[in-house]
Structure 1
């Protein structure tokens, strides 16, 4: 890591932010804090050289100049060479890695999936599912919250969102949990195989929705148009898969972070139980502090300056969202969980045209977990050491051993 304007301490200069093993503990948060103090973007190596942007206002600069940045080469650094190849291959086919004008047209087609009727149905069913999952582990002794609650919830909700037939749901939930149960360093072959199964199933599901439409997102994708023509089947399948990915990863990691705060920040939960704040405000603060995405990446398409630093066409830029959510210039006491924080200007879902299209779904899932924990859990304790996910892209837990009790 290096900078064109400041001399970095030797320990910072030798850090590779793309190394997934760096994320096995809380070191990244300390590194980002020191990088913010430098107040300029810096260079880093790894799988590919890139500019590291950790300040909130510098990320805003990038979004104000979005015309000079592209996502077509992939939206994250990657952790192995195949990740780099996959990002470029998906360029122009997935909403996540597509530029305008195709991005706007694709986003419009996907956004029409989320009808008011579907949102009402999901709101009721997601809270019911969260209550059932949390209720099943309360007073049951030691459990892994990730395995028993945080991972199953988005898998179940995804089936309802896409209109997966009842007879397929057990298998789809099995693939979904296998695909997203431990992404990051040393990804298992079984996980890759599960992703393949999901791609195949998405293709079959969309074909069925063309024959027999329903009131669901898969039906809209199967019959969507772009620029007045039918959306290609390749694009429809890619975005079907990405909706599964986005919903699962965001909710799984942030829901786990929410449960951990029962132990680390009991006073915040006491305030919530006493009516001193509300679940929606608490959810936004959990999304800020427990931001599930470390960074997003862009490629510079025309020369410009960000934070006073010249950046050249063809260079890569990484926007560290989790760092910006702890920026001392924006948030008072940024490392403190404050369930009364208003306004809460977190950027966990990004900014601008690439603002997460399924942000409402993540808020719904995490908010439902917050409400279920509030209603059903009186006390909590850790029964083992939480294990971080080793990933430079996602921030969360592989496992979270806990004991949840109904009594205070």
Structure 2
């Protein structure tokens, strides 16, 4: 005989989760941690980055790369379930100071990126013409520059060629700027600028190039061998076995750079102390950008006035007249009114049924409190006796004996 199966800890936990309201837990946790959150963290824009539908493993990896771009003000470990709908993310957005929702999807034509302003829109729909994952970009570099401190601060947003006065271009520029915290020139510290997000608009084909870089600092006017001495590699010294003395090592000709972007560095004067390797006590450094990925080429398709719905403010391929826009607006208002009336009717029906249920419950409780066992009259007892005697005759075939009723 096998051992009888009992509910384990995991099963009990699942039952507890099913019977528990997640909204109450979210409110309780957010209220508990609200007093420990700094003001800068609360005021900074946050984001949810998710995918919808069947997208494939490459789009899911692109979603994780995009979350890395938006660090640290994003839900990097947000779990998604099939039952989650858009209003679930909107409902909890305010508790976590989330201001933007980025949704990746895929159709038979192309992948799409939707950027929504929570809670009332607008929604920008971009078509992803082509993209490269972060791992593919890093694999092309001869020397990769990645470390954890890169993602402790938000990237510096640089927007190039967004000078058009068209309304949809101004809305694109404002949307991307509002996705990142504003920078105070008087308070910014150089050690916080570790990454750069570059958005370049191409007027020829009406597309936007997205690039993600990390910033590296190197001292100027110093040979490569001197850089090795200045760098604090955990107290390790370079190999001097082939040199007779330190002078020979320092006077050795500089070798070729290991990375392709070394010649593209820009020299700047430091206005404050910089905590970078090899820059201690140096007033002038060379800044070089190393790409982290991912790469994306975006094209704006349309802009909706609401959150994934509402009036189409701009469409790249469809142009409507003022009469058509007015007719569509009236149709949309009519649908909204019908939906509101249907909701009121449903709510009234729910309230009516609840009232009837409460009345019925009160009657049942009142009846149970007033009456105990039912008392039969003499006539009712005689009728029951006749029915029993008739049944006895048919089944047994004999006359029943006289029975006395209690």
TM-score band, normalised by shorter chain: under 0.3
From the two aligned structures, give the one with the greater strand fraction: 2
From the two aligned structures, give the one with the greater helix fraction: 1
Q: Which has the larger radius of gyration?
A: 2
User: TM-score, length-normalised on structure 2?
Assistant: 0.22
User: TM-score, length-normalised on structure 1?
Assistant: 0.22
Q: Which structure carries more relative contact order (alpha carbon 8 Å, separation 6+)? A: 1
